[in-house]
């Protein structure tokens, strides 16, 4: 299993360059959650030592936030949105160890979904992608503010979908 720093770095370096400015901590949480979810339903093991909470805005992890604080690996760039709100974009710099081929396939799958669910010209181009994340079994079956038991939720999902 790959660790969150390596997976986050791999997601950011694979993210389409024309949209890299959109990589906020919220977007990073959504992307990493889907990578973790995809791995757990397909390989039964996800990102190493990563815990999730069903936050008000979807799944979030203090582990992702902590990983983004590694100054030698991630650069922060503050900017203002069209509505005037200040946000911080993150960019991968430096290098980490390569992720496994299973993780790379999951990252490619998630980034393809992200690209397919972008409303051109919409005020929130990631709204459809966010709806996808919020509709995952693990998020839908966890109360707001509660920890997402992603491993057990993935096992339940595999059973419901008869994947086992």
pLDDT tens track for 73-94: 999 988 887 778 888 889 999 8
Coil, helix or strand at residue 46: coil
Q: Does the global pTM surpass 0.75?
A: yes
Residue 34 has pLDDT above 80, yes or no: yes
Domain range enclosing 132:
4-160
Cβ contact 110:34 at 8 Å: yes
Mean pLDDT score of the chain? 88
Q: How many domains are there within the chain?
A: 1
Rounded Cα–Cα distance for residues 164 and 45 (Å): 14
Q: Which two tokens stand for residue 133?
A: 């994340």
pLDDT tens track for 95-127: 888 999 999 999 999 998 887 776 665 556 677
Cβ contact 137:153 at 8 Å: yes
């Amino acid at each position: 299993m790959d660790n969150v720093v390596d997976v986050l770095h791999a997601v950011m370096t694979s993210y389409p360059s024309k949209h890299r400015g959109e990589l906020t901590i919220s977007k990073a949480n959504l992307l990493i959650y889907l990578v973790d979810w995809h791995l757990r339903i397909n390989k039964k093991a996800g990102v190493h030592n990563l815990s999730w909470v069903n936050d008000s805005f979807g799944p979030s992890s203090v582990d992702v936030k902590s990983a983004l604080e590694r100054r030698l690996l991630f650069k922060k760039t503050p900017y203002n949105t069209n509505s005037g709100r200040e946000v911080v974009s993150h960019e991968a710099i430096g290098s980490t160890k390569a992720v496994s081929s299973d993780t790379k396939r999951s990252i490619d799958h998630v980034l393809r979904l992200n690209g397919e669910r972008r409303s051109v010209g919409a005020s929130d181009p990631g709204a459809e992608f966010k709806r996808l994340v919020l509709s995952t079994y693990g998020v839908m079956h966890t109360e707001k503010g509660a920890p997402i038991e992603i491993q057990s939720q993935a096992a339940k999902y595999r059973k419901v979908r008869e994947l086992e």
